[in-house]
């Protein structure tokens, strides 16, 4: 279930550039505050967008993030602060624990923002953006985003069918056999569906030179404002990171390699960038509530 979002109705170019800036800065900037802000804002926005956000967090984000945080100190033994030693003789360092924790935060932030991206950027938006200049890439991206929920839904249907056909035989070996059979059926279906989609788009003349495009998207003044603000905030953080104002050292010690004041200002700018879609949606909700009171 998805809630109403004014940002979802914005121009696809604005959606794509804003999410691209946030994801690029989240992945490329190593500053721990940037990662923490990105994870927090991404979680807040996804909880605003989807009613299934709590289940997604508990089933996907938390297990993968914790697994990342645990595995890093098990294989990475760098760092100057030795806490103890493993039975193998390798040291357990505080820096490896901290780096693993922030690697988990980075993974959580990426998962939340990609979940928001898949909710906001529908397949028709990707086709609209890339259908003329890069038709193959636009079709590939739209099919990839559409593939994950369809695959999950078809896998659940196949698993339910296997349970009905299997009767009361719910032994472990029977369940493993049913799961493998359902997975094989869904993989076969997905390959056939991809081939049919490609043939269908080719039959409609998709990607041919001179083909006309119908679009319901119009670039409004609000879209121009959002785009200008997003580019300005993103450019400020990119320039700060390029000049080393957001550098942070994890090894051999967990210390800052930049001035705290400038790093704090750039972190605040990045937080404004991450909160831009949520702020836009909340402003639309407040305007709607105010108009209801006047009526």
Q: For the chain of 295 residues, list the mean pLDDT of each consecutive stretch of 10.
A: 79 93 94 95 93 88 92 86 85 90 94 90 79 68 69 76 64 73 78 75 66 74 93 95 90 84 94 94 84 70
Whether residues 40 and 87 fall in one domain: yes
Are 110 and 9 contained in the same domain? yes
Give a yes or no: residue 245 inside a domain.
yes
Do 127 and 154 belong to one domain?
no
> What is residue 5's predicted lDDT score, i.e. its pLDDT?
84
Packed helices 32-49 and 12-28: angle between N→C axes, nearest 10 degrees? 140
Q: Does 212 map to a domain?
A: no
* Burial group, residue 29, by CB count within 10 angstroms (0-12, 13-18, 19+): buried
Statement to judge: residues 196 and 255 lie in one domain: no
Instruction: Examine residue 162 and state whether it is found in any structural domain, yes or no.
Output: yes
pLDDT of residue 207: 62
Region at 217 (left for phi over 0; alpha for psi -120 to 50; beta for the rest) = beta
Is the bond preceding 252 in cis, omega lying within 30 degrees of 0? Answer: yes
Task: Answer yes or no: do 54 and 199 share one domain.
Answer: no
Assigned domain for 246 exists: yes
pTM score: 0.79
Q: Residue 211: inside a domain, yes or no?
A: no
Contact 186, 155 (CB under 8 A): yes
- The verdict on 183 and 55 lying in the same domain is no
Regarding whether 98 and 5 lie in a shared domain, the answer is yes
Last residue of a domain, one of 153, 173, 205: 205
Task: Report the distance separating Cα 162 and Cα 182, nearest Å.
Answer: 7
* 122 within domain boundaries: yes
Query: Could you say which of 181, 205, 229 is where a domain stops?
Result: 205
Strands (E), the chain: 82-85, 91-93, 248-249, 255-256
Do 122 and 254 lie in one domain? The reply is yes
Residues 265 and 173 in one domain: no
Parent domain of 295: 1-131+218-295
Does the residue 223 lie in any domain?
yes
Instruction: Out of 162, 179, 205, pick the residue that ends a domain.
Output: 205
- Residues 246 and 260: their CA atoms lie apart, in Å, by 9
Predicted confidence at residue 168, as pLDDT, reads: 54
The reply to whether 98 and 227 lie within a common domain is yes
| Same domain for 140 and 127 | no
How many domains is the chain partitioned into structurally?
2
Residues 160 and 42 in one domain: no
Q: Which pLDDT value is given to residue 184?
A: 80
Token couple for 4: 């109403």
CA–CA dist 3, 16 (Å, integer): 20
Residue 210 covered by a domain: no
Torsion 251-244-114-139 (CA) sign:
negative
């Amino acid at each position: 279930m998805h809630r109403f979002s004014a940002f979802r109705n914005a121009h696809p170019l604005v959606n794509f550039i804003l999410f691209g800036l946030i994801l690029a800065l989240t992945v490329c900037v190593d500053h721990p505050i940037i990662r923490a802000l990105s994870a927090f804002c991404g979680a807040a926005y996804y909880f605003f967008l989807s009613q299934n956000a709590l289940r997604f967090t508990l089933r996907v984000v938390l297990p993968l993030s914790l697994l990342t945080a645990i595995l890093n100190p098990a294989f990475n033994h760098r760092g100057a602060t030795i806490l103890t030693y493993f039975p193998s003789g390798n040291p357990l360092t505080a820096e490896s624990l901290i780096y693993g924790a922030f690697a988990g935060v980075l993974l959580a932030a990426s998962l939340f923002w990609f979940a928001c991206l898949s909710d906001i950027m529908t397949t028709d938006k990707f086709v609209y953006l890339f259908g003329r200049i890069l038709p193959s890439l636009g079709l590939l991206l739209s099919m990839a985003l559409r593939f994950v929920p369809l695959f999950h839904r078809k896998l659940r249907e196949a698993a339910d069918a296997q349970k009905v056909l299997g009767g009361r035989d719910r032994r472990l070996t029977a369940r493993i056999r049913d799961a493998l059979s359902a997975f094989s059926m869904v993989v076969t279906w997905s390959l056939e569906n991809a081939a049919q989609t490609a043939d269908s788009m080719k039959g409609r003349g998709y990607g041919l030179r001179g083909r006309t495009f119908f679009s319901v998207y119009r670039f409004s003044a609000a879209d121009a404002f959002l785009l200008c603000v997003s580019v300005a905030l993103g450019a400020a953080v990119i320039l700060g990171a390029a000049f080393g104002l957001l550098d942070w050292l994890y090894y051999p010690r967990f210390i800052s390699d930049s001035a705290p004041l400038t790093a704090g200002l750039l972190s605040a700018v990045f937080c404004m960038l991450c909160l831009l879609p949520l702020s836009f949606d909340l402003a639309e909700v407040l305007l709607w509530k105010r108009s209801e009171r006047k009526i």
